[in-house]
Amino acid sequence: MDEQGRDRQKVWMPLLFSIVLVTGMVFGFNLRDSLRNKRDITTVIERNDRLEEIIDLINAKYVDSVKSNLLYKDAVNGILNPLDPHTVYIPAEELQGVNDDLEGGFSGIGLEFSIIRDTIRVTSVIENGPAGRAGVEIGDQLIKVGDSVVAGTAINSERIVHLLKGKQHSSVFVTLKRVSNGLPKEVSITRDIVPIYSVDASLMLDSVTGFIKVNRFSATTYEEFTAALKKLLAVGAKQLILDLRDNPGGYLDAATSICDDFLDDKKLIVYTKGIHTQKAEFRANGDKGLFEKGKLVVLVDESSASASEIVAGAVQDWDRGVIMGRRSFGKGLVQEQYSLPDGAALRLTTAKYYTPSGRCIQRSFAKGRDAYLQDYEKRFEDGELTGKDTVALTDTTRFYTYKNRVVYGGGGIKPDVFVPYDTAKLSPLLLSMIYSQELKTATWDYFIRNKAKLNYKHIVDFNESFAAEDQVVSAYLTMLKPAAHAAASKAMANHTSASYFRLQVKAQIARFLFRDNGYYGIILRDDEVVQKALGVLGSAQYSKILGQ
């Protein structure tokens, strides 16, 4: 380097060092501010080392052998125990199933099955799915999956599902005993994404009333919902019953998207905020939604939670529709899921959500997780579920709907119209009969024997002309052992129980023919909440409730 170059370097070096120094100071101050509320990394390492040391000591010195992974799991659950009940650790082996439900699909072959007489019977084949394209039919018996025999008393549903699932576009050989000719046949099925539908049913209850049942809010729910709603509107639906009973929630954006179809003018749907998260508002986008004007009833119960309560809360606060059923679960917390290095995940509560009127409907968990999870039993014991239209308010702060109706937070969404459980249908004996293996076998046997004759084109035709319930009931009773037979016969002597049991038989046959739409098309005719909703929609009571 020449003398002139060295002179230029001497001039610029102090300036360069100054820039580096100032940049470092700014970065340092910013880093300090960003970490102000976080634990010192030394503390994290010390605490982690402490846990590792304890587990290492147990492994090295404990009197019996232990599984380290279970120790870690229990340790994590111990850390989370003082937090809210919805902050949970999801082990790696359970994560895929949890994510499948929320993502709305998994890689499989696209069929449903049932274990009948220790054999696997195909009870439904997804239209245009992998199994359907390979020629699998309802009634076929699964003999082998790959090299694994899938028959006998040791078989269970979990093992079958595990064998049928696999990587997308991978192949699996399935040996079937064909329902058509009783002969074995091996087919190769290429796995593909199989949808897990979140809309159970969408059908017309009468000439103007549509019904949509949503079982969860997954990544595909809004797409399913809009497709169902458009079909109902196309055949004349002018009012809608949205059934969110037994819906535990799911994705927030699925719930807000559905609300967007009900609300106009950029109305607030919900907002969220937490100590470490900024307030975020979710509003209708202002474009014309699919169903902003027609009469609307939303059904909820004690198992309607989270995203279901967001929908019910927005509809109620804007006086957009009538909420009917029983008080909802009371979950007003928002979780984010964080992946962990071992394949597990932490679902961490990061914010609370608030309905448009400003209420948070989260019920208290101050008495611990066990008491929180036993809330259903407490409601039942207090009589709330079976007849008392009263709710012990944990938060007496008044909030007001758009038309100044009083509503409350802190304990779920209280319906505008309360409908208690029908206790006649809660009999343990009757429920055990309905969900028994014997009834499943009797309905299946009837369906297979008469499959060719059951060529109904529509659920309405089936409902009007099918009259073989007594045949199935008779076959069911002959399968029972003497003590069970005597108890079932006594139950069937009660007119109400017998009518409901026969209706369930009819609904199960309809499900084989028309999937879930068939089942709901029958069972809703005896659903007291739905029938009361139809009554409200068809009378002046609807406008009176909403102050119109």
> Using N-to-C axis directions, what is the helix angle for 221-234 and 252-262, rounded to 10°?
20
Q: How far, CA to CA in Å, does 237 sit from each of 125, 234, 294, 297, 520? A: 29, 7, 9, 13, 17
Active site residues: 306, 317, 331
Q: CA nearest 477: which of 427, 442, 426, 429?
A: 442
Q: Which helix (H) or strand (E) holds 345?
A: strand 345-354
What tokens appear for 66 in the block?
């232990």
Q: Give the span between the Cα atoms of 153 and 119, in whole angstroms.
A: 9
**Residues in a beta bridge with 351:** 334
The 10 Å Cβ neighbour count of residue 197 is: 18
Contact 76, 55 (CB under 8 A): no
DSSP string, 381-422: HHTTTTT------S---EEE-TT--EEE-SS-PPPSEE----
**CA–CA separation, 510 and 461 (whole Å):** 11
Alpha-carbon gap, residue 432 to 267, rounded angstroms? 47
Backbone dihedral region for residue 418 (phi beyond 0: left; psi -120 to 50: alpha; all else: beta): beta
Cα–Cα distance for residue pair 531/521, rounded to 1 Å: 13
Sign of CA dihedral 361, 363, 369, 373: negative
Q: What is the DSSP string of 14-38?
A: HHHHHHHHHHHHHHHHHHHHHTTTS
Residue type, 74: D
